[in-house]
Structure 1
Amino acid sequence: MKISVVGTGYVGLVSGVCLAELGHTVICVDVDTAKVDQINRGDSPIYEQGLDELLQKNLGTRLTATTDLERAVHETELSMIAVGTPFDGRAIDLSFVRQAAEMIGDALKTKSAYHVVVVKSTVIPGTTDSVVTPALENASGKKAGADFGVGMNPEFLREGDAVADFMRPDRIVLGACDSRSHGVMRQLYEPFTSANILSTNSRTAEMIKYTANSLLATLISFSNEIGNLCKKSGEVDVAEVMKGVHLDKRLSPIGENGRRIVPAITTFIEAGCGFGGSCFPKDVKALIAYGQSLGESMSLLDAVIRINREQPGQIIAMLKKHFHSLQGVSVAILGLAFKPETDDMRESPAIPVIHTLVEQGARIHAFDPVARNEAKKLFGDAITYAETLEDALADSSAVAILTRWDAFKRLPRLVQAMHPQPLVIDGRRMLDKKDFDRYEGIGMGERSL
């Protein structure tokens, strides 16, 4: 198929490149000329494992980028809207989605062939039917369902694993206004012969995306609340508590061979310093706002956000337990991105932790394998950026692990060689407490040291 993807951010570029890898001809569209030029040079504007390689492999043959949306629509059979939907504190901002729909509609005005427009952006239920479709109809002068198709196809891509997730999907959700649109969308994913495909209406497809992310965020905040309780309960360690919970066969089934199957969802039932990124915080807040607009209190999800907002404070509290004042204390911050294998710092727990430490006079030496440049945009010269893990640890009085990078598994050996050993605060519970002389961890009770 011939496809145009409007928006070359995280979702748009990954989708476009992967669709090209599947054999489709893809035109990526963006208003940012510099970004378009960068893509056409084979240089991805975002960091994502495996993306550069696939971009360079397909560039010039099955993949191109342009600022000319009208040409892209005229030369393709299906257009995906993959623009941003930021949350302004009250509701998601649909202005970019509406603008993209209007521009596509304007192009459809002079196109005679049937064309399908698919919303890939994460939007609240009703957006495709009540915002995108009217914008397309008004701009084109045509009728959805008769002259062109409209659909909704949410993405389920994990940052850091987005390429693998797209190429090996666990589910494909297709929402559409009619059977013809559904049929065209199914053609798009024909290469995935074993994937589970759910065909539904657009409102349900939109709700599935929000519900999926809100469930995972809820599991994280639940685990963190239990961890905070364990911290105050004496000889109780949340890592051991959750290990016992995970052994429930409804969470970790026992196979016919007697071996335990450990599903990935158990990684969300672990205590840490909070979730971040471009999806969970924004999507949960947007769903709360949507529910409240319909008269639902959304009390549970309100609590999920509150717990997550407060969770980075656990790192500060553990530091203050060991230092009367943080003024002048040298703290190595390990991990700046909200999760490993990405440079995305949006809503990262590292942000409030670093801001608080700087305000209280601590000297920060931060290290992240890939997020250094993003961190500089946020903190400027307020902190020092280490080139290596060893540089970050040098002369540190305390170490705080905020991202679960595999590179930090070397920490026990490095710290054991230091005299005196710094205090290690494990915000992700990724290391063994027995490997350190001085260790504090999220959810670890006082007498479980």
Structure 2
Amino acid sequence: MYEYCVLLYCIFANENCRNCDERSGGCRSCTSGWFGYLCHQQCNCNDGGCRQEDGYCVNGCKVGWYGTNCQQQCSNNCNNGGCRQVNGYCINGCKVGWYGTNCNDCVSGRYGTNCQQQCSNNCNDGGCRQVDGYCTNGCKVGWYGSNCQEQCSNNCNNGGCRQVDGYCNNGCKVGWYGDKCDTSCNQQCSGGCNRTGVCNGCIDGRYGINCQQQCSNNCNNGGCRQVDGYCTNGCKVEWYGGTCDTSCLVDQCTGGCNRNTGQCSRCTQGYYGPNCQEQCSNNCNSGGCRQVDGYCNNGCKIGWYGDKCDTSCNQQCSGGCSRTTGVCNDCINGRYGTNCRQQCSSNCNDGGCRQVDGYCNNGCKVGWYGDKCDTSCNQQCSGGCNKTTGVCNNCVFGRYGTNCQSACTVTNCISNCNRNTGQCDTCILKWYGTNCENYLF
């Protein structure tokens, strides 16, 4: 009963079984074109025959098939449909539009199912990946994306960008920033900005990280240092400080002030000191003085002395006094000596004397002699005496001698006796003789 059942199984299990083994139920042989234990596998062999145990095509494969058991189909793109059994290589080459050993690759410039799609014109060398059109050799300059369909920013340097994301490889043109150079720099930038948008330099009059701050209006030429607003060309007149935002003392300064300290460069006429806050002495000639210490540059007005001309000369001075020592240039009439502290002799003619020593320049009043006219003439003198020697100019009546020291002895003289001899020069009427001692009867 068992053998009968096996035989039925073998017969009805597969019509391709030519000789059934009753015991095992397997096919002893298969009809041409089939193989396997139950002859249920089909061969694609030439002449239809294949080895039963493994399906190996002894005489090769039918046209259009390849592989050990000819189970693989040659590419539809093989010329004449045939390919080499061992590896599927198209023996007669590829149909137009295909290439490769198995003619499954698209010719350059094509991709997709049956190579029906054209690679982007923007692919380098015109080629792309068959499965999706990816430009395997990169994009032509100016394009990016997997299929090089997107245009690089016009602001990329040299027009090129990275294929994967459009990043401008060579940086941005002046005035633009960002990965794709699609953002414009701040309008206050000069010379463009860096890749993050920070200005390389600022236009005149601006400073700060992104040139968002305005330079002081008091900067010379309007320019300042980008990092901190420091006025690089100095300050306009009347301003000082790093950013020229502090005013000089306008009223007293002329020509501005020191950039760092605020000290006036020059003071207006009549002022001195670090900030020109002190007033020059009213006694300075021309009203001006030295800025550093108030020294009167042009000397003092008459009647004053000292560096600042703030000390009055002695009241006995005439024509002022020495700028340095205060010694009188000259004395008023009637004074002499150092600083005119001494009074000229009242016996000087016209009351005046020499400043240095009191010498009476114009001589002595009658009756006095000596350099200072401080010695009285002999009382026997008439009409004064000699300024230097004290010798009488003339003798009073009845006296004679060098200094009138002798008394005349004659009595009958019309005039005084002779100054030198004591004799009578002219006798009165009727008298005669050396001393007019004889009378004429």
TM-score (norm 2): 0.13
Q: Which has the larger radius of gyration?
A: 2
The structure with more helix, counted as a fraction of residues:
1
| Structure with the larger RCO, 1 or 2 (CA within 8 Å, 6+ apart) | 1
More strand by share: 2
